[in-house]
Amino acid sequence: STLKPFLYALAFEKKIITPDTSIDDSPIDIPTHSGIYRPANYEKDYHGIVPVKIALASSLNVPAVRVLNLVGIESFFKLLSDLKFRDLHYPHFYGPSLALGSLDVTLWDLSAAFRVFANGGIFSELKLSGDEKIESKLRIFSENTAKEISEILSDRDYRSPTFGLENPLSTKYLSSVKTGTSKDMRDNWCVGFSKTHTVGVWVGNFSGEPMWNVSGITGAAPIWRELIDWLGEYYSNEKF
């Protein structure tokens, strides 16, 4: 689910939807070459017609699949390629589940990509030291799109239908954040940023063995919040 903000940002860029657009969160059947694909929300419930900003912040799965249908798998795949996610296959290798994060990613690539929103829509690759040469920067999204996604991911009211008002994503300082949980709970993720820092956290077993009842909100998120709050003690975080 940590890839959902990029999908919605692409739809904003294409002016297909806005944060206030209504979208349907109800059961859907999608024909694929291997059968019928039926996406379901993490909580196994549905919320009916909701604004896009709530669908994204609350990480609802069905609306994300609907958005992918609107922008096209090929367009989203190209965006992920532009963001330098590695080891990509081809668009229809993933199918509609690409909207929910069926792509294999590394914490390095995912953290680098989230900096696009923190830096006003501009992407640059990470470096390990100040001595490394800064690679050329690439504008991925407009400043307005980056701001809209950042605001959605910072609003605790928007995420409350799934996560409640008080949870590990509520920080002392202004921040934007997204969690994700891999299939069978093999991994969970929490990536987000403040005015000055982007922090990415992965929780899982190096063997790939599934965990038991550990999701992004319970595994990676508490670690992320402790780090982002600690950084906030030393840096001003009044606005993005």
Average pLDDT, the chain: 91
Secondary structure of residue 16 in the 3-state scheme: coil
pLDDT (tens digit, 9 = 90+) per residue, 73-111?
A: 999 999 999 999 998 998 888 889 999 988 889 999 999
DSSP letter at 74 equals: H
What is the C-alpha to C-alpha distance for residues 18 and 77, in angstroms, rounded to an integer?
A: 21
pLDDT (tens digit, 9 = 90+) per residue, 206-222?
A: 998 999 888 888 899 99
Per-residue tokens: 195: 């005015």
What is the C-alpha to C-alpha distance for residues 134 and 115, in angstroms, rounded to an integer?
A: 15
DSSP letter at 79 equals: H
Q: How many secondary structure helices (H) and strands (E) does the chain include?
A: 9, 9
Provide the percentage of residues in the chain whose pLDDT is more than 70: 98
What is the C-alpha to C-alpha distance for residues 182 and 104, in angstroms, rounded to an integer?
A: 10
pLDDT of residue 22 exceeding 70, the answer is yes
Check if the beta carbon of residue 81 is closer than 8 Å to that of residue 123. no
